[in-house]
Amino acid sequence: MRLFFALPLSIDTTLRISDWRDRYAPCDARPVPAANFHITLAFAGELPERALEFLCDATDSWVNSHQPSAGDMLLDRVGFWAKPGIFWLGPSAYDDALAELAKKLQSLVVSAGARRERRKWEPHITLYRGCNLAPPAPDSEPSIPCHYDLICLFESQRARNGMIYRRVAEWQLARHRTR
């Protein structure tokens, strides 16, 4: 199973991102379907099926004992990673608690058998894949509010038309923080 933890996006946020991308940030690459927009917290990659139960149990235990908080961020900057050819949208600022949540989930996936990520975690939504060159600056700067209140464990499945992300488990986040 190919697994990852992520923050799913609301329908409203997804539509705003898709609309902004289509209007102001065209790119000569493969657009990620809006249904696949999310903010990855921890990528596990290919793991044996038995790791799923471990990840769910460990996450249940940690969420129940620590009660991580829901929150808000403003998606207001874009970036480009040349090596994977990814053009992305993300926040210029976010809560330390969100970074701690990602760090904890990353430690859980490593405990389940995943390789440790070498790159520093950067909250982002992939807009395009397969960019050979950095896209031009967008015609209009993004300013999209994003509320998050759920952690999901997704399974990534390859399909004829690209990837499909299936929710395997989810955890509600507690108290609302404002950013």
Q: What domains are defined for the chain?
A: 2-176 (3.90.1140.10)
CA angle (70 as vertex; 67, 76 as ends), nearest 5: 145
Asked whether the predicted pLDDT for residue 83 surpasses 50, the reply is yes
Q: Do β-strands 162-172 and 2-8 pair in parallel, antiparallel, or remain unpaired?
A: unpaired
At 179, the pLDDT band (50, 70, 90 cuts) reads: very low
User: In this structure, are residues 2 and 155 in contact, taking their beta carbons and an 8 Å threshold?
Assistant: yes
Q: List, for residues 144-173, the tens digit of each pLDDT value.
A: 999 999 999 999 999 888 889 999 999 999
| Lowest mean pLDDT, pick from 111-120, 149-158, 170-179 | 170-179
Specify the pLDDT at position 117.
82
Specify the pLDDT at position 176.
59
